[in-house]
Structure 1
Amino acid sequence: MIELWKNEQDENRWHPFSVLIKKELADHIRSFRFIILFVLVMLICVGSLYVVLSNIRETASDVDPESATLFLKIFTLSNGELPPYFALLGLIGPLVGISLGFDAINAEMNKRTLSRILAQPIARDAVINAKFLAAVIAVSIMILSLAFLMIGFGIWFIGIPPTFEEFLRIMIFTAVTIIYIAFWINLSIIFSTLFKQPATSALTCIAIWLFFSVFFNILIQFLSGSESGSAGSGWTYYLSQLSPTQIYSNVTSVLLTPGIRSTGPLSMGQVAGSIPTPLPLQQSLLVIWPHLTTLIAGTFICFGVAYLLFIRTEIRS
């Protein structure tokens, strides 16, 4: 009887949480906002495929067949006018995360629906957890479907399937992209909890995105120009790692370009004696491990801050 009662208690505890996730996920997928975002990312995919179709024959003649990196060119190829697929995702991905989280809390507080939800036998932490997980699931569906679409068209155009290592690199790249967008989802939920108006939280998140995407690089270039010597370049390199956009760029570049051996400047002692061959996946993961850990830690820290702010927020009926 005790075991049966405990099982019933566990089911009653998790049932509202699953209902909240289904509700939030349905709201995301059925909204015009998500449809517009999906069409925008689809245009990125189409543009990248157009670049691949235009330049894949010239690239295939320059790639060593034994290097097993031809299929990854689909995600990294650029014609000089349109950035590659992974760079476009790094630019548009934050907008996707911001769009899914900037009004997650304050919109429901303004509509007085959040107080009605919490009036039910639902734990407050279940609400914030469901909002985050539903947004991540929606983003995962979007990014995974586009990744498999790129793989399918790549097999059709190139005529050869990716190797197992190439497929693993693409899947890890997709997972890193989802984590990167989840960071911006948590950041937008933080400002959605702090500010009462959705427009204020959206503008604040967009300002942060613009700072790290545009002005932060200008600031780094200015500092690197004012400093001289290897000490200055090393200092500006570590300063650039404070940007989540730069961290994502470093991780994805190493994953999709096996020939990259480091994300930072190399000394002459490190370059001497090295053989210019692609790194295996295990070695590439070792290179990006500090950056990947930083990105994951930043995502969890932002979620923790959003969680604490929401738990301490006064919600009146």
Structure 2
Amino acid sequence: MKNPAVYFKGLFSGNVSSRSTKVGDRPFSVMVRKEVADHIRSWRFIILLVLMLLTFLGSMYVSLSNISKAVGNAEDPDSLFLYLKLLTITDNSLPPFHIFVGFLGPLLGIGLGFDAVNAEQNNGTLIRLLAQPVYRDNLLLAKFTGALIVISVLFLSLGLLMIGGGLIITGVRIEPQEFLRILCFIVLTIVYVGFWLNLSILLSVVFKQAATSALTAIGIWLFFTVFYQMIMSLVIKAVLPDPALLSPDEVTGYNNTIMTFLRLVPSQLYADGTTTLLMPSVRSLGPLSMEQMSGAIPTPLSLRESLLIVWPQLCGLLAATLLCFALAYQRFMRREIRN
């Protein structure tokens, strides 16, 4: 933000005494529009956008090349959902798109938020901006809202592009349940990337240097993506007993304990949610006993039943996102901005 006065250009133009003019709401909307414009014009976002588009096009090419085999498979209960298969099928040359998003989505959120606050302070524009009739919480919320709007438009556009491309190439119309599942998948993806965006904004408030906040955010991402499962496997082998020596009931509790610790990772919550939404035949995200499996018919679940399964994962991501925003709000409201 090179010139903070751009935020308030025309802010008090027109009839200020009009009842329809909400002066308290105007600065926030102006800041959000300015943040969206800054993100769209930045080379950082363009590079991340090209990276997401390349992975999307590569995944769609692999899916469309193998879609005939997946749809014709009578043993697969999800074979009737053509458009969901476009997001999940692969020939192992490239991962499906939702796997790519689970890996690259955090980089998008980190890239849009790691210098949201500290760059303003280092450039000397933060104190000039807050000298205007702007509340600190509005500034922080505008940073998050502007970046989240860009992320939402990006993934919604990719989802519509996938549906349009599948319709043109296959000529098969999309079913309402498929469209709603893809829409829920997009919402879950936005929440997942929004968590990393909020985490990076929190780090931009905590650290004064943008490079430090970026490296810290990438380090947290690498820890949860790569090292957390390694550490968990070592801890499980050292603490928990050998599952070969346990009874069937104890094995179920053993597996539930492992899944509980794995679900402390945002990427695991996102993987569980996308698996449930894009694969309607998934009936549970944890181990099932023989009594629970007896009499079960291998048919796809309805959207409502899948949402009931994925609801804890969505709530977990929302809670983590709100926690990061609350911590960023608390630190920013108490921060000294004059140095």
TM-score bin (small chain): over 0.9
1:100 to 69, 89, 112: 112
CA deviation vs aligned residue, 1:99-158 (integer Å, no higher than 9, x gap): 000000001100000111001111111110100000000101111111111111111222
Number of the residue aligned with 2:303 = 281
Number of the residue aligned with 2:3 = none
Number of the residue aligned with 1:269 = 291
- Contact 2:77–2:300 at 8 Å: present in 1 too? no
Percent identity between matched residues is: 48
- Contact 2:137–2:333 at 8 Å: present in 1 too? yes
CA deviation vs aligned residue, 1:224-245 (integer Å, no higher than 9, x gap): 5553332332211100010000
Number of the residue aligned with 1:191 = 203
Number of the residue aligned with 1:85 = 97
Establish whether residue 24 from structure 1 lines up as the match of residue 24 from structure 2. Answer: no
Q: Which amino acid aligns with 1:302?
A: C
Q: Secondary structure at the match of 1:11?
A: coil
- Contact 1:224–1:233 at 8 Å: present in 2 too? no
Give the TM-score normalised by the residue count of structure 1: 0.94
CA distance in 2, matches of 1:168, 1:68: 15
CA distance in 1, matches of 2:292, 2:78: 25
Which runs of 5 or more residues in structure 2 are unaligned?
1-15, 244-250
Q: Which amino acid aligns with 1:151?
A: I
CA distance in 2, matches of 1:98, 1:27: 16
Number of the residue aligned with 1:111 = 123
Q: Tell me how far 1:62 sits from its aligned partner.
A: 0.6
Q: Secondary structure at the match of 2:23?
A: helix
CA distance in 1, matches of 2:227, 2:94: 21
Establish whether residue 49 from structure 1 lines up as the match of residue 60 from structure 2. Answer: yes
Aligned pairs for 1:92-241 (under 5 A) are 92-226=104-238, 227=240, 228-229=242-243, 230=251, 231-241=253-263
Number of the residue aligned with 1:62 = 73
Give the TM-score normalised by the residue count of structure 2: 0.88
Q: Which amino acid aligns with 2:66?
A: N
Number of the residue aligned with 1:36 = 47
Q: Tell me how far 1:86 sits from its aligned partner.
A: 0.6
CA distance in 1, matches of 2:270, 2:232: 17
Number of the residue aligned with 2:88 = 76
Q: Secondary structure at the match of 2:28?
A: helix
CA distance in 2, matches of 1:310, 1:133: 16
- Contact 1:68–1:163 at 8 Å: present in 2 too? no
Q: Tell me how far 1:95 sits from its aligned partner.
A: 0.2
* Cα distance change on mapping 1:240 and 1:15 into 2, 3 Å: same
Q: Which amino acid aligns with 1:176?
A: L
Q: Which amino acid aligns with 1:52?
A: S
- Contact 2:70–2:79 at 8 Å: present in 1 too? no
CA distance in 2, matches of 1:197, 1:278: 50
* Cα distance change on mapping 1:45 and 1:296 into 2, 3 Å: same
Q: Tell me how far 1:254 sits from its aligned partner.
A: 0.2
CA distance in 2, matches of 1:236, 1:67: 31
Which runs of 5 or more residues in structure 1 are unaligned?
none
- RMSD of aligned alpha carbons: 1.8
Q: Secondary structure at the match of 2:186?
A: helix
CA distance in 2, matches of 1:99, 1:111: 18
Number of aligned residues: 313
- Contact 2:78–2:300 at 8 Å: present in 1 too? no
Number of the residue aligned with 1:308 = 330
Q: Secondary structure at the match of 1:161?
A: coil
- Contact 2:64–2:86 at 8 Å: present in 1 too? no
Query: Greater share of helix residues, 1 or 2?
Result: 1
CA deviation vs aligned residue, 1:192-244 (integer Å, no higher than 9, x gap): 00111111100110011111111112233334555333233221110001000
Q: Which amino acid aligns with 1:132?
A: F
- Contact 1:223–1:236 at 8 Å: present in 2 too? no
Q: Secondary structure at the match of 2:299?
A: coil
Q: Secondary structure at the match of 1:71?
A: helix
Q: Secondary structure at the match of 1:242?
A: coil
Q: Tell me how far 1:70 sits from its aligned partner.
A: 2.2
- Contact 1:224–1:232 at 8 Å: present in 2 too? no
- Contact 2:77–2:281 at 8 Å: present in 1 too? no
CA distance in 1, matches of 2:236, 2:94: 27
